[in-house]
Structure 1
């Protein structure tokens, strides 16, 4: 299956590509390590710029379930959600519509979303009719063929929205390899195969599974992911961690802590590479690294080099390799007591607690899937108690959302029937959200748990609510959203490159200082 008939869109916004993704100074689980053999965890954080002045063009293929079970309000809700999507896109973006029931149909190639294309695309969606079985694999295969056949790919990001409300009746969608295409899946209602849709999303780079309960509207979860996809500031984002093995040597071992779901490789020299895929404006990726330290032969305090962190990304078709940064830990004969950690150290402990929290949700889901509902509830209650031990200066918002997430899941585990209808999809969405550090709609109250949501997502959620109330009201385009953001913060577009050049200057001064200063070790 090959198409190769995608329309050529205008170029996306071009501007400075410097500083769109940056590394913050690593934070540690303790303020200093001992001179004796010791262990420490460092969190390396990648941050995407908050500006949306420069973004990659969006190539979106929506794969819509039009099987017989979608008749009635489900189909109408899906159509309203698609109207929202179409109205938000701009000529820089391209959209293709694929529907599936017993087989799949591509209704149009990737079209640049001009005003005329919007009219045509709305007519395509309005004309969809529900009938037949549920061949999810056929729909996904067709969408990936559309993307594989693109003639224009530079500075463009390929993405798929896959929505279904039922169990697959033909083929096995788990066998489909999405390659480098992000697939965002939406389970609509209690009869959807949520586990399958979650597995599909996890096989793709950066994709998430999203839950839409029976009676819920699709506009809100669609809008959230669209708010991210229309603000992609970098592709192929990756972090390389190179262990310091110079003589004298402080580092014994270096490993990445579990709790995230990214592609990770380690070469023969112990160099770890982590691939994140795309980053939305305002998104953050935290990598926790465990270091085991050897006993030091020194008797005085000093900064021990443990590793070198370097990140890279692609934007506007060009690879940006950033300046490496050293990961250093102060070693001292008198390290602070464990109960005397600073605010920075507490943020690391909070991140590790969040990962344990996500792990507890996964364990509870497996228990509930095995009909051990009481054990699952005990596991979630234990996780709630663990959150009480987190002491933060400015992290109450995070802890509040984690508590709300656990409470919602506990409520959805009151009975096995309720769990299977709503609790399982809620848990699966939570797991992919934590694993990818990316927002996913969990179902239920979308205002209570906004983990990993970006400012544009918050804006689009409010727009989607108003749209559901009155679909005929005017809706600002993505270009209008950028203009509003720029008006509210005029220096946002230049803040990232300015900060980049300041960091480069500081690093240069530090390197000069090291060259002229006498060695302290």
Structure 2
């Protein structure tokens, strides 16, 4: 055998030498032509030969030595079958057979499309005889059972978007956002100068129609980053069910990728559209998950971000859902780095080594100077399971990326928590929402804006301001307090008693998520009266402004109590919460029976209960508080503790104040599937919105 191999090798040497001589001759000829000033265009045949030589050289130097999928050796005689593709690149047969089982016919190295793909025959002879296939190593239209995709050097092996775009129905396209602008009081004495006069500025997104279809909304690119470490062993079945619920509720234009992490991270499913085999393959990949190893949250996030950053095509909406039940065991010092929510977000000098491990797309502080415009902003919605997860880390990641943090106290509520999140993501109706505010009278200046985590800017010496809201879900509302200074009126004696003063003008612009059309809403003006004497009507407080002041005050009190709890002074924390509850209940809006005030009272009560002892606070109180602060900061619903949105019809007391109809309907659907009430899920109206309801 060795003798035969030597003879074959000897016979090939002259041919290889001839090729090399031809190459030298062509090179010499080309050099002489250049020297004589003659430049000739290469003929098609020469281009083809050159391309073949490059491919031949690359194959021999790279792909013939190493499998591009597992990066293992491709030496013959090691007991592994080797597959050679039409493009001359080589892979382990098992590696490439698994890789193409999801319908991927693209070479991971040169990106050329294959006509023939490897087919791995069934294990037994009986199975093979029952399969209507030939005894060939290739089969064009065969769809084998799915297995998780092995990692490749090219992470963006995505399925292209649909070539045909279905235009949104006229009834769901380019509907303007509704603006509200309300002063706290309808009048201010003409002789008074007010330094901080609150004005409520709010936006309300248009609704989704009941008959809306997947083709009439903005499709999403979603990456699920899942913790499959050893501690997830007892929770993996419920995690699989929850992720499959997401997959089954996506439309044919939505794309999903799945990344898992334990001690390391792997992308087990590429970005594919959720139609037909795409959904089936994604579910198969999820069902094949197994647990084991440590917890490397940072590596999982990096891998998930790469999937979105390296997309060749992009759906309008992109997001990451991160799920973990523990601390990052491979990146040390996470516990000592997180002290309180204020330090996490508002102090730029606070040293957070762990956050510097995260990509700039989800942690803007890691963006290199001058690269801000090119940075992709990817919101990460985080979900912490049980009492052992790192609530500080999960909250910080979501807060810095623009996502939300949900605390899932019992794993039974996992699917409902996912349902709430996906109900929002599948109902985005507006993007790049920006509020523009302008002073309309001399001496009226914008002093401050309370906008939570939404960026605001005041310029032109307080004459103008902007609030960047970002995206809005259908029926979602955001409200902000703008404080302005009002000068004393300088009326002449002969002027009318009831002068009017224009304070502000508010305009909103946004991009429609389905048509990408820029939409501007109708301008709203804030006008007050400046009488010499106030009437009883002039002294009436606007309930919407009052309830918003209550919401902000409660959020501030909870944040203050949380800082005290971190220091171990729980009695002070309890005193702060108790005092705020008294203030809340004595407010005008609470006295009027406002639903939001009732919800805020319940939140204060439960927060106090979870701060009763240091052990209870560390077990669930910290996570509950941080999830609540995340919800208040973004005015967006999160799942907290053991509670989820109840089915409609049970009253507002159990409804999350920021829930939208799409969220409620999706959670209702989840609860029905979980064996809850047999009520059919339907599109419902908000039971407790930011619009006041009172007795």
- Counterpart position of 1:32: 187
Asked if residue 283 in structure 1 is aligned to residue 480 in structure 2, the reply is no
Is contact 1:47–1:284 with CA below 8 Å preserved after alignment?
yes
- Counterpart position of 2:628: 430
- Counterpart position of 2:111: none
Q: Distance in 2 between matches of 1:100 and 1:260?
A: 32
Q: Distance in 1 between matches of 2:255 and 2:526?
A: 42
Is contact 1:162–1:184 with CA below 8 Å preserved after alignment?
yes
**Mapping of residues 68-467 of structure 1, within 5 Å:** 68-72=230-234, 74-153=235-314, 156-171=316-331, 174-175=355-356, 176=358, 177=360, 178=362, 179-205=376-402, 207-244=403-440, 249-251=442-444, 253-258=445-450, 260-268=452-460, 270=462, 271-298=464-491, 300=496, 301-315=498-512, 316-336=515-535, 340-342=539-541, 345-392=542-589, 396-446=594-644, 447=646, 448-467=654-673
What's the CA shift for 1:137?
1.0
The superposition leaves residues 396-440 of structure 1 with CA deviations (integer Å, 9 ceiling, x where unpaired) of 321221111112112212221111111111100110101111001
Q: Distance in 1 between matches of 2:551 and 2:154?
A: 44
The superposition leaves residues 210-255 of structure 1 with CA deviations (integer Å, 9 ceiling, x where unpaired) of 001144431011100111111110111111112235xxx141x213
Is contact 1:48–1:281 with CA below 8 Å preserved after alignment?
yes
Is contact 2:450–2:482 with CA below 8 Å preserved after alignment?
no
- Counterpart position of 1:47: 204
Q: Distance in 2 between matches of 1:373 and 1:449?
A: 28
What's the CA shift for 1:373?
1.3
Which 10-residue stretch deviates more, 460-469 or 449-458?
Answer: 460-469
**Pairwise CA RMSD:** 2.5
Q: Greater strand percent: which structure?
A: 1
Distance 1:57 1:165, change over 3 A: same
Q: Secondary structure at the match of 1:441?
A: coil
What's the CA shift for 1:279?
0.5
- Counterpart position of 1:509: none
Q: Distance in 2 between matches of 1:454 and 1:396?
A: 18
Q: Distance in 1 between matches of 2:433 and 2:569?
A: 40
Q: Distance in 1 between matches of 2:310 and 2:486?
A: 50
Is contact 1:259–1:359 with CA below 8 Å preserved after alignment?
no
Q: Distance in 1 between matches of 2:377 and 2:224?
A: 17
Q: Distance in 2 between matches of 1:121 and 1:78?
A: 14
Q: Distance in 1 between matches of 2:536 and 2:263?
A: 64
Q: Distance in 2 between matches of 1:369 and 1:325?
A: 44
Is contact 1:55–1:234 with CA below 8 Å preserved after alignment?
no
Asked if residue 63 in structure 1 is aligned to residue 262 in structure 2, the reply is no
Is contact 1:259–1:356 with CA below 8 Å preserved after alignment?
no
Distance 1:165 1:294, change over 3 A: same
Q: Secondary structure at the match of 2:450?
A: coil
Asked if residue 7 in structure 1 is aligned to residue 204 in structure 2, the reply is no
Deviant stretches of 4+, over 6 Å: none
Distance 1:215 1:93, change over 3 A: closer
Q: Distance in 2 between matches of 1:62 and 1:169?
A: 20
More RCO (CA 8 Å, sep 6+): 1
Q: Distance in 2 between matches of 1:395 and 1:158?
A: 39
TM-score, normalising length from structure 1? 0.84
Q: Distance in 1 between matches of 2:632 and 2:238?
A: 28
Q: Distance in 2 between matches of 1:428 and 1:337?
A: 42
The superposition leaves residues 101-133 of structure 1 with CA deviations (integer Å, 9 ceiling, x where unpaired) of 111111122211002111111111111111111
What's the CA shift for 1:449?
4.7
Distance 1:7 1:394, change over 3 A: farther
Q: Distance in 2 between matches of 1:437 and 1:120?
A: 36
Q: Distance in 2 between matches of 1:425 and 1:236?
A: 30
What's the CA shift for 1:380?
1.3
- Counterpart position of 2:175: 19
Q: Distance in 2 between matches of 1:12 and 1:193?
A: 43
Q: Distance in 2 between matches of 1:346 and 1:66?
A: 48
Q: Distance in 1 between matches of 2:322 and 2:521?
A: 35
Which 10-residue stretch deviates more, 428-437 or 172-181?
Answer: 172-181
Q: Distance in 1 between matches of 2:607 and 2:205?
A: 31
Is contact 1:208–1:432 with CA below 8 Å preserved after alignment?
yes
What's the CA shift for 1:2?
6.2
Q: Distance in 1 between matches of 2:354 and 2:230?
A: 19
Distance 1:173 1:55, change over 3 A: farther
- Can you give the 5+ residue segments of structure 1 that lack an aligned partner in the other structure? 490-521
Is contact 1:212–1:443 with CA below 8 Å preserved after alignment?
yes
- Counterpart position of 1:493: none
What's the CA shift for 1:443?
1.3
